């Protein structure tokens, strides 16, 4: 990961740490958005198909979420790791910079995360809380909207840092 992108991951994770309890409180405990998922996907696909980058982003995001609240330590780590890795693979085949791309990556990541968590529950012999269809639909919409905002923000930050893109340094 480049230095700037590495530095941006830290405030993004800090924002996710702050946003998650606020969203849960405002929604009455219903998970309508998973900010950690959005951060994992957004940073995993920045800059192409780098699998190491995707694994690093997904791993750090999952560990952060596991440290905050996890019934079984490592469930968020593994689910975010899988989601970020698959997002980096799929993201390289989609048109970058398009809103539909961000929606597909974040929405697909939310569905994939649910599948990974359910499979982990079966493998570990534990009943992890699975989302019902209504909650899953709300979570998909919330994650896609949040993903669109984060992808837009990262594109704006990336554009302002490139030489010749409106900054005086590049002229």
Q: Could you read off the pLDDT of 97-124 as tens digits, one per residue? A: 788 888 999 999 999 999 999 998 888 8
Contact 23, 38 (CB under 8 A): no
d(CA 136, CA 115): 12
Give me the sign of the Cα torsion angle 20, 98, 106, 142.
positive
CATH class belonging to 3-152? mainly alpha
27 pLDDT band, cuts 50/70/90, is confident
Domain ranges of the chain: 3-152
Question: Given pLDDT bands bounded at 50, 70 and 90, which one contains residue 33?
Answer: very high
At 142-169, the pLDDT tens digits run: 999 999 998 888 888 767 665 654 444 4
Q: Residue 82 burial by CB count (10 A; 0-12/13-18/19+): exposed, middle or buried?
A: buried
Work out the average pLDDT over 31-35. 91
Check residue 167 and give its pLDDT.
42
pLDDT value at position 166? 46
pTM: 0.85
For 37-89, how does the pLDDT look when each residue is reduced to its tens digit (9 = 90+)? 999 999 888 756 678 888 999 999 999 999 998 778 889 999 999 999 999 99
Can you tell me the distance from the alpha carbon of 77 to that of 144, in angstroms, rounded to the nearest whole number?
A: 21
Report pLDDT for 51. Answer: 85
């Amino acid at each position: 990961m480049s230095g700037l992108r590495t530095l941006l991951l830290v405030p993004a994770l800090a924002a996710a740490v702050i946003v998650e309890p606020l969203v849960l409180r405002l929604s009455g405990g219903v998970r309508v958005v998973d900010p950690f998922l959005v951060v994992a996907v957004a940073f995993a696909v920045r800059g192409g198909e780098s699998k190491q980058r995707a694994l690093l982003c997904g791993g750090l995001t999952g560990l952060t979420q596991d440290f905050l609240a996890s019934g079984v330590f490592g469930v968020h780590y593994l689910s975010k790791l899988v989601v970020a890795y698959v997002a980096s693979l799929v993201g390289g085949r989609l048109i970058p910079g398009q809103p539909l791309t961000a929606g597909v990556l974040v929405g697909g990541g939310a569905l994939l995360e649910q599948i990974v968590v359910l499979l982990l529950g079966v493998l570990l012999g534990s009943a992890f809380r699975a989302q019902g269809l209504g909650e899953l639909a709300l979570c998909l919409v919330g994650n896609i909207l949040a993903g669109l905002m984060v992808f837009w923000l990262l594109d704006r930050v990336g554009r302002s840092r490139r030489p010749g893109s409106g900054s005086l340094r590049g002229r």
